[in-house]
Structure 1
Amino acid sequence: MNEMEKLQYVLFERLHRRAPGIDKLDRLWDAAVLLPLVRTPEGISVLFEERAHTLRSQPGEVCFPGGKYECEDNSFRNTAVRETCEELGLKPENITICGELDCLVTHNGPIIHPFVGLIDDISKITYSKSEVERIFTVPLKMLLEQKPRRGSVQLADHPGDDFPFDLVPQRKRGWRMNKSYYVYFYLYEDKVIWGLTARMLYAFLYRSRKELTEYLAEEID
């Protein structure tokens, strides 16, 4: 084995020990959430949580159940189920996972892995009051019919005090516009569903609109 063949072997062995993922050197971390569907008197509905008002992070905001991935979960699917059970007082057998949506890489930390699932009986929910202020449902038909409002957010970067301008003198000081992205807003009664929750909801409705519309039409018939 010559030198290049040896290097090829070493690199092949090293790089194939695990599947490539997402670079997390910028302190990114993984979380998983469940977009829950339940049957209500109004028909198939999406269930939302209002975060407890005593929480330090985003108190009172509307969200889906979910949380940070733990090593013992072994999969993001298990994370979504575990967190939903903890927050809504359910057992794993009460939840049926239907599939996974595209993961969402956010600008402030978490890489979110969203799953769509069915909760077999809404009456079994006894939510954790330390995490959840209340739950509410929105009929799926109503969400499909609603065109969400949207607004754009601009991202910019700004070099810190330790940035080595002497190495790249062409880099100017001050803020520099980078890109923009859309934020979606769904309205229901006195609730505003927005941010990452609305982004996942929009992706689900957009991706499954045809199948969901046909299902609801058959259910009415």
Structure 2
Amino acid sequence: MNDIQLIQSMLSNHKLDKSRDAAIVIPLVREEDQSLSILFEVRAMTLRSQPGEICFPGGRIDLDDVNPLAAACRELCEELGLSHNDFDVLTASALEPIMSPRRGKIYPYVCYIPDPSVISPNQAEVSTTFRVPLSYLLKHPPSEHKTSFHFEFSDDFPFHKIANQSAYKGQKQTMTEHVFEYDGHVIWGLTARLLVSFLAILNEGQDQS
């Protein structure tokens, strides 16, 4: 293949595979005392993927979604029984997207639900919801725990043909897992990562004000 224009055309026509990308919503809820809480979902036990785990509303971006924000709003309405008039999106652009090995790129948004009485969870997806005061989360940082992932190569991998072999054999990657605990609920994993990112923005804003 020696035709550079043909290669350029192929690159221009190539469509990025976004079939795994997802969008989620961090929902802020106004309580009766006018304080704010963050709403979390507990996934239905009948779901094949991660039953019973704690998460934010959200899911995969469909081909019919015009952008990640549209997907986030659609999932929020489907999972919590809301209409688009029941909430306000606080930023038109996503917070810093994060990468997930299994789910691709995840776009987080923040919304505000002024009247939580309109929430009616879809029992097929959400077994229950609970709320954690925003003030509590800002004052009680999560515990931190180190986790390691080991890389394993098949026996027929040609290590004898690559440079710096010792740097890759037995290699492991260490990362920090954050764990929030509140009223018997344990929030960790991807949900905790998103929560840490959001709270960091608020703490930074408070320090500058």
Measured against the shorter chain, the TM-score band is 0.7 to 0.9
**Given the superposition, is the C-alpha separation of residues 12 and 35 from structure 1 closer, same or farther in structure 2, using an over 3 Å criterion?**
same
Count of equivalent residues: 204
SS at the partner of 1:73? coil
Deviation larger for 186-195 or 112-121: 112-121
1:39: which partner in 2? Answer: 30
Distance 1:18 1:122 in 2: 44
Aligned positions of 1:68-147 closer than 5 A: 68-99=60-91, 100-147=94-141
| 1:132-190 CA distance string (max 9 Å, x none) | 11011111111100121011111221113553446438646x96223211111111111
2:45: which partner in 1? Answer: 53
| 1:32-68 CA distance string (max 9 Å, x none) | 1000001013511100001112222222111100001
Distance 1:120 1:162 in 2: 59
Do 2:19 and 2:61's aligned partners in 1 also have CA atoms closer than 8 Å? no
Question: CA RMSD for the aligned pairs?
Answer: 3.0
Q: Structure 1-normalised TM-score?
A: 0.80
Distance 1:46 1:175 in 2: 43
Do 1:28 and 1:111's aligned partners in 2 also have CA atoms closer than 8 Å? no
SS at the partner of 1:176? coil
Distance 2:118 2:206 in 1: 25
Over the matched positions of the two proteins, sequence identity in percent amounts to: 35
* 1:191 has 2:182 as partner: no
Structure 1, unaligned stretches of length 5 or more?
A: 1-5, 216-221
Q: Structure 2-normalised TM-score?
A: 0.84
Structure 2, unaligned stretches of length 5 or more?
A: none
Deviation larger for 43-52 or 92-101: 92-101
SS at the partner of 1:126? coil
| 1:67-117 CA distance string (max 9 Å, x none) | 011011021111111111110011122222112211111233332111111
